Chain A
Amino acid sequence: MSLDEIKIGGMGASRRRVEDNRFIRGKGKYVDDVVLPGMLHMEILRSTVAHARIKSIDTSAAWEVPGVRLVLTGEMMAARNLAWMPTLSYDTQAVLATDKVRFQGQEVAAVIADDPYVAKDACAKIVVEYEQLPAIVNPTQAQDPSMPIIRDDKENQPTNKIFEWEIGDKERTDQAFADADVVSTIDLHYPRSHPSPMENCGSIADYDRATGKLTVYMTSQAPHIVRAAVAMVAEIPEHQIRIISPDLGGGFGNKVPIYPGYVISILASILTERPVKWIEDNTGNLISTGFGRDVYLQGQVAMRKDGKILGMRMHTISDHGAFYADAQPTKFKIGLMHSTFACYDIPAAHLTSVGYYTNKAPGGVAYRCSFRVTEAMFFQERMIHAAANDLGMDQAEFRRINLVKDDMFPYRTAFGFLTDSGQYDKCMQVGMEAIGYDTFKQEQEEARKRGKLLGLGISTMTEPLGAGNSREYDIIGIKMFDSAELRIHMTGKAILRTGAKTQGQGHETTWAQIVAHELGIPADDIVVEEGDTDTAPFGMGTYASRSTPVAGAAVAMVARKIRAKARKIAAHLLEVSEEDIEWELGRFYVRGNQERGVTIQDCALAAYSNIPDGMEPGLENNAYYDPPNLTWPFAAYFCKVEVDAETGVWDVLKFVAVDDCGVRINPMIVEGQVMGGLTEAYAMANMQYITFDEEGNCIGSNYMDYLLPTAWETPGFELHEVVTPCPHHPIGAKGIGECATVAGPAAFVNAVMNAIEHTGVRNVDMPLMPNRVFEALQTGKDVSGMPPVKVG
């Protein structure tokens, strides 16, 4: 009899998480929990100003502090050719500043001491003399010829421009606009936002001179990429580098880049011949690491009177900070921004992009986002909202006219992506019914009569997840595939390792479920390991929602290789030819005689004790999976808000999320991902405000100024599901980690705008803080969020 898949924790089981067993006992092992014998502690001194020449650095008083072992400056790094390092976008980034500081919070010096408190004391004794230069805090200033060149360290960098890039068909798009009855325009700023995982970044570097081996514990979402980069920068051969990414306290894209602190700790360990621990403080994390977004989004759609969209054009101006360090697939300078409008049937589209350096920390990381798609979809849904209003058409109806229909798949978008599956209209229907769409307008009118402002916002989108295929997607030349290695022990238990790296997504639980589904081995019998480059197969790591689409597929594929070998063993055990063997979950049997069979565990034992002649012993294998296409989940979100006209404060009355992420491995975990993502979307729309004043001072450098939502503010979410399996993924899954962060913000903003746009206002930039909403209500005018902000 076949096994009950749910009972063995297979696909579709809301299996409770195995990683929880250590976390709920306080036994997780995060970087800061690792203690090595003889370990020293490092603290970084950061620049107090945004743009300045360094006239001098005096470290003599720091050396005097008892317990200090080493003080490092840029000059000392330069002597070892380590003052600069390559970024993941073919730029360079200062490790410790030598000539200039280019953003507030930039790394200027480091102290290594016996104790972290002593290292901090000594840092305070370093004297740096700066000669201040004008700070550039937005792309408009970056274009001003009277402003200084930020990257005067680079040859061939006569301006502050990083790149110009375009994609799409300009002529066809121009024609579409010429043919249009109505053209609608929008101009937005997607502000900087910081991913702010609860755990800050850190590393422990341990160089062993005797063996030549460098081991680094590190908060990294992509440890194999780090290994390759360290091999290039530190000139240590790759086989002598071991990167261990232990438990991560969240990542959200913040832990993809390679930070100066990691590199400094490595050199410090080489010089002191002791393990060196660096744990960033929260302000250090907020002002210097992986910001997301910060891009101006301008665009238009061309429409017929009946609501059909004929074409769209878009222009982005992105602010990357002082170093172009956000990892993007090489071919695409502004990430996958051109996935915008992918869920709509549009004949012509054109995108132009320009990127600038500014005196801000490096920005543009994929903050819970698949390479700029968060910005792409925010623009799309704000544009759609404005266009429907300009046409005088109902928001839902306008979307339903233009969404790609079920029978149009596979559908080639105007920018060239191939979306392959979905039931967009069904998702709309489910959401509309759940939010009470049909009665809302009446409700809104009645409420307005009583002086209450209600609004309803919609956001629909499909996003490209799971980069790559390797033909099109690489990071610094490394192709974006992923891997899994599976070993079945003789008692039928197993260990699985992948090139991904969980940060809370629950890979230890869900990967085992995929193996259980493919092999019938109970999930509890499978241990999953990730993050140690000495043991895990090479992989590109976890970000851009690529784990399930790529590494998850590799897990299924390696299990199928194991099954193929086990089938041969089964034929041997059952003394029939392989063609006469049938499979049911967990068991092979002789065709026509279901009673006569052997379990997968029997085959595992035989692989080590009774193998057919000529067969290699053992039952293990690996798989490298290069996806044929991206996966395309769909989301339809509906948000109902009430805005208080007296204060500009808004409350979410109801939020309905309909997600189609294909086949769900573990529904409980999928829902957890959606709720977490929606909360970050809410946070971006409402309160996560981190910006810069005219001198480049970061406003929002701690959790008192940079507000993250608590349990008290965060609304409840009502989740619904529609399932359209991905046609090319081995288990039909599409990825879900980011859908909610990507589609969510526009739902909140559209809802608030819907409540206040009768005053004539067309746009308020995020975050929609009460003062901005209030100002819009008072003036009926748009409110821009462009820095610099006025302080005091």
Chain B
Amino acid sequence: MSSLYDEVAPNPGADTPVRRVTIEVNGEKRTVDVEPRLLLVHLLRQGLALTGTHSGCDTSNCGACTVLFDGSPLKSCTMFAVQADGHKVETVEGMGTASGLHPVQEGFKEEHGLQCGFCTPGMMLASKALLERNPNPTEDEVRWALSGNLCRCTGYQNIVKSVLWAAEKMRNDQPQEA
């Protein structure tokens, strides 16, 4: 499937450069035309209408724009869309399936890990990446892994609990080795 992103400059002058890029977003290949200066976060939000990725600061400080880039957390306001050409991006919209939630999503609801919800997509993706490389983190390891993501509502304690809840669930769901 392709989507032509033409919102950046509706009447681009002859000197407005446009680059065609192909990015795998939540498992689907998307081909889009972008201005080279377009930030990845704006491509996701405006071009692809994936508004679950938020923009809080645009200075790489808040983490509201965190996505998984080839599986690792990345602040999508730090990267141009053209730099993502040929790579895989996962956003919050790709975390669950139509029928089920990812354990991290369940954990955030179960342990009241969110209030206004603005930081939540970024927090959950950073958490998911942590649990993929460390299925049994300590509280300190969770806090360190999330220290690039700001939250103004929760005070983090319940976010930590949410991640530990998800870790346990994911461990229990693992098929036991014979």
Which residues of A come within 8 Å of B, CB atoms? 16-17, 19-30, 32-33, 35, 66-67, 114-118, 196-200, 247-250, 252, 281-282, 503-506, 668-669, 671-672, 675-680, 702-704, 708, 710-712, 714, 716-717
Contact = CB atoms under 8 A, between A and B. Distances in A.
B58 A282 contact: yes
A739 B15 CA distance: 57
A117 B8 contact: yes
Interface residues of B, number: 64
Interface in B131-145: 142-144
A23 B156 contact: no
A118 to B, nearest CB: 7
Contacts of A67: 9-11
- Among B8, B9, B58, B112, chain A packs the most CB atoms within 10 A around the CB of B112
Interface string B160-171: 100000000000
A117 B80 CA distance: 14
B9 A23 contact: no
Given A282-B57, A703-B57, A26 B51 contact: yes
A734 B144 CA distance: 36
B120 interface: yes
Interface string B104-144: 01001110101111111100100000000000000000111
B91 interface: yes
Given A30-B54, A33-B51, A198 B8 contact: no
A504 B158 contact: no
A464 B61 CA distance: 36
A26 B91 contact: yes
A737 to B, nearest CB: 10
Contacts of B96: 25
B109 A198 contact: no
Given A247-B117, A505-B115, A711-B156, A117 B147 contact: no
Interface string B40-51: 001001100111
19 contacts: A24-B108, A24-B120, A115-B8, A115-B10, A198-B150, A249-B54, A503-B116, A504-B116, A504-B153, A671-B112, A675-B155, A676-B153, A678-B155, A680-B152, A711-B149, A711-B156, A711-B160, A712-B144, A714-B156
A198 B115 CA distance: 12
Contacts of A504: 114-117, 153
Contacts of B32: none
B153 to A, nearest CB: 5
B52 A115 contact: no
A702 B13 contact: no
Contacts of A21: 109
B9 A282 contact: no
B117 to A, nearest CB: 3
Contact of B157 (A505, A668, A717): A717
Contacts of A506: 115
Contacts of A675: 154-155, 157-158
A503 B153 CA distance: 10
Given A16-B110, A249-B54, A711-B144, 5 more contacts: A26-B52, A115-B9, A117-B8, A281-B58, A676-B152
A17 B52 CA distance: 18
Contact of A703 (B59, B93, B110, B115): B59
B116 A198 contact: yes
Contacts of A115: 7-10
B54 A672 contact: no
- Among B57, B120, B149, B158, chain A packs the most CB atoms within 10 A around the CB of B57
Nearest to B38: A117
Contacts of A117: 8-9, 35, 37-38
A712 B147 contact: yes
Contacts of A23: 114, 117, 120
